[in-house]
Homo-oligomer: A and B are copies of this chain.
């Protein structure tokens, strides 16, 4: 039987790399294989991984032998065991690749949750406002650097939000929306935050010893090389896919971005138009119900279209045939960011830069079906109605409030509470189903087409443990990218539109207090424990943050220019004084001021070295110094005699002998003038005597020149 053969193969491969396995029953159609590495084996694997780190320059201290007592974190152990299972044979692993090739029946490899610790932490953190560096270290030690970096980022962001939250509240209270001061401070804050985080990343990667970790890249199994070449340098055979060909394929990103913009843009703009039409022009029957149509349409169509586009993006990304997992992830992240950018910000862009300035021109054309011209209203009346159309000045603000408050709460619910409830409901349903089936079976009811539930014959003492494991198997895999994306998009609202409503940072501050805890809860309860991954940054999201903050300098300036005068222009809010050239000039100056300030902040930040980075540098220096000293000592002995010769402080007496000596030497070297040149003065004292003679002969004593 194939399944049994595969299982044997699996167990044999695991045993070969020294992993002990225990097989238990999974659910109806699966097995659980528990894997454990012996202490000795694990130590050796950890040592080997550390040696590789050292060679790639990730760690500074050379790892001492395999039996060293250097502490291993839980994350390191789990990572190494995971590498033992998944790495290819030539790197000392079992080469098991879930869902791929001969291992396609291996659905997942993951560690088990440490329930006790998780509970303790959740309890502790709910009492604190900020997580300490120690807490972050703990997260990293449990879940690996990748999750650690996310929490660290979230914590930094949360802490940084205090200032704009307070400042925004004051501005809102004193100055209202679209205040120039708030906008300038907000832009500056964005720059400082992004640059601070860059610095913080360096600091963390030194603290967690993952600097340059991206150098050690794991190749993707899905990579299809075009040809195999033998590497000249290393003599190894390796698959190659020409970079130019990949770039040609990447050109497809341009039509993709256009497609995404048009598809999503069309949906959003249409719904937007319908909404305005119904709410502000239409006065017919059922208005109270019709008003919900656009919301329903948006809620239904946008996620659908996003899902379609994401799947297209994934296919495109597969087609680009990246060689390493990192490159693949970066490329996919960029594509996903484009989709998210459009869905998140386009509605507000439409309101601010299309609806407000051009509504009075566009709106009358919205009535394509002449729905407002109904038989019982005279044509004149309808026209009068249209010309009385007024822009709703609160629309922009309301929309920003919707996206920064309501949508955040909804998102939190959808992401944390709903899955939790669903999961509980599902478990209850399964249990109920099982009980019913059991009853049916016991009742001898043969009509039931359902397959009989398995009765797990677990050892009594393991029942509880295996039940927990089976629950964890049913959870889905955690991907830190989703959480990072959420934060990045949130930052975008702040950078792009917060001048509209300066309470945005306050709202985010509150939201992120919850987010910081709920995300941890989510990882512990709603996902399988993630395999610890090492990383030295939050990856391409950092670029996205920088990009958003840059775009923010443009939109903020435009918003302030267009709307800040509103109060003076009366309540209709129609800005008539807007001049194209003035708007563009504002944007031009704002953007370049932004770039200059960013340059200055960057230069200033570069000067201040993060503490852990300094420590890392000192470590490196010490290591080097030890080496240098030992190498100099090693060869110092042989040269000692020469040293004495060279530094002898007594001139050889100029006697008859020495003069004869000189003459002999001179004749020995014959006609070679270069050799004779160097024979004039012997020892430094003789040179000094000659020099003194010259100096005394000189009319003016002055500078001494020296040449090699």
Taking Cβ atoms with an 8 Å cutoff, the residues of A that contact B are 1, 3-4, 6-8, 10-12, 14-16, 18-26, 28-36, 38, 40-41, 44, 47-48, 51-52, 55-57, 65-66, 78, 81-82, 85, 96, 98, 105-112, 231-234, 243-244, 246-247, 451-452, 454, 459, 461-462, 465, 469, 472-473, 579-581, 583-585, 587-588, 604, 607-608, 614-615, 617-619, 621-625, 627-628, 631-632, 635, 639, 642-643, 646-649, 673, 676-678, 680-681, 683-685, 687-688, 690-692, 694-708
> Would A684 and B14 count as touching, CB distance under 8 A?
yes
In angstroms, Cα B681 to Cα A34, docked, is: 11
> Would A646 and B702 count as touching, CB distance under 8 A?
no
> Would B56 and A624 count as touching, CB distance under 8 A?
yes
Assuming the A-B contacts A112-B707, A588-B584, A707-B33, are A233 and B628 also in contact, with contact meaning beta carbons closer than 8 angstroms in the complex? Answer: no
What residues of B have a CB within 8 angstroms of the CB of A26 in the complex? 705
What residues of B have a CB within 8 angstroms of the CB of A680 in the complex? 22, 459
> Would A15 and B683 count as touching, CB distance under 8 A?
yes
Assuming the A-B contacts A452-B699, A695-B1, are A233 and B614 also in contact, with contact meaning beta carbons closer than 8 angstroms in the complex? Answer: yes
Which among A617, A621, A700, A707 has the highest number of chain B CB atoms within 10 Å?
A707
21 CB < 8 A contacts A-B:
A4-B688, A7-B704, A12-B688, A16-B647, A18-B643, A18-B646, A21-B684, A23-B687, A28-B700, A30-B704, A31-B694, A35-B708, A44-B639, A105-B704, A106-B705, A107-B703, A107-B705, A233-B622, A472-B707, A580-B585, A587-B588
> Would B247 and A705 count as touching, CB distance under 8 A?
no
What residues of B have a CB within 8 angstroms of the CB of A35 in the complex? 706-708
For A547, the closest partner residue in chain B by CB is B599
> Would A635 and B44 count as touching, CB distance under 8 A?
yes
What residues of B have a CB within 8 angstroms of the CB of A246 in the complex? 607
In angstroms, Cα B14 to Cα A687, docked, is: 11
What residues of B have a CB within 8 angstroms of the CB of A703 in the complex? 29-30, 105-107
For A647, the closest partner residue in chain B by CB is B16
What residues of B have a CB within 8 angstroms of the CB of A617 in the complex? 233
What residues of B have a CB within 8 angstroms of the CB of A624 in the complex? 52, 55-56
> Would B708 and A23 count as touching, CB distance under 8 A?
no
What distance in Å separates the Cβ of A696 from its nearest Cβ neighbour in chain B? Answer: 8
> Would B607 and A32 count as touching, CB distance under 8 A?
no
In angstroms, Cα B584 to Cα A587, docked, is: 10
Assuming the A-B contacts A52-B628, A581-B579, are A707 and B109 also in contact, with contact meaning beta carbons closer than 8 angstroms in the complex? Answer: yes
In angstroms, Cα B20 to Cα A19, docked, is: 66
In angstroms, Cα B669 to Cα A461, docked, is: 14
What distance in Å separates the Cβ of A597 from its nearest Cβ neighbour in chain B? Answer: 12
What distance in Å separates the Cβ of A612 from its nearest Cβ neighbour in chain B? Answer: 11
For A604, the closest partner residue in chain B by CB is B247
> Would B705 and A12 count as touching, CB distance under 8 A?
no
Residue from B3, B44, B581, B639 within 8 A of A695 (CB atoms) = B3
In angstroms, Cα B683 to Cα A21, docked, is: 8
Assuming the A-B contacts A231-B618, A695-B7, are A708 and B109 also in contact, with contact meaning beta carbons closer than 8 angstroms in the complex? Answer: yes
What distance in Å separates the Cβ of A444 from its nearest Cβ neighbour in chain B? Answer: 18
Assuming the A-B contacts A11-B688, A706-B108, are A57 and B57 also in contact, with contact meaning beta carbons closer than 8 angstroms in the complex? Answer: yes
What residues of B have a CB within 8 angstroms of the CB of A81 in the complex? 708
> Would B690 and A473 count as touching, CB distance under 8 A?
no
What distance in Å separates the Cβ of A614 from its nearest Cβ neighbour in chain B? Answer: 7
Assuming the A-B contacts A707-B32, A708-B112, are A607 and B473 also in contact, with contact meaning beta carbons closer than 8 angstroms in the complex? Answer: no
> Would A454 and B698 count as touching, CB distance under 8 A?
yes
Residue from B105, B608, B615 within 8 A of A233 (CB atoms) = B615
What distance in Å separates the Cβ of A690 from its nearest Cβ neighbour in chain B? Answer: 5
| Given pairs A11-B691, A22-B678, A108-B707, 7 additional interface contacts (CB within 8 A) | A7-B691, A8-B692, A26-B705, A41-B646, A56-B624, A451-B699, A580-B581
Residue from B41, B47, B618 within 8 A of A232 (CB atoms) = B618
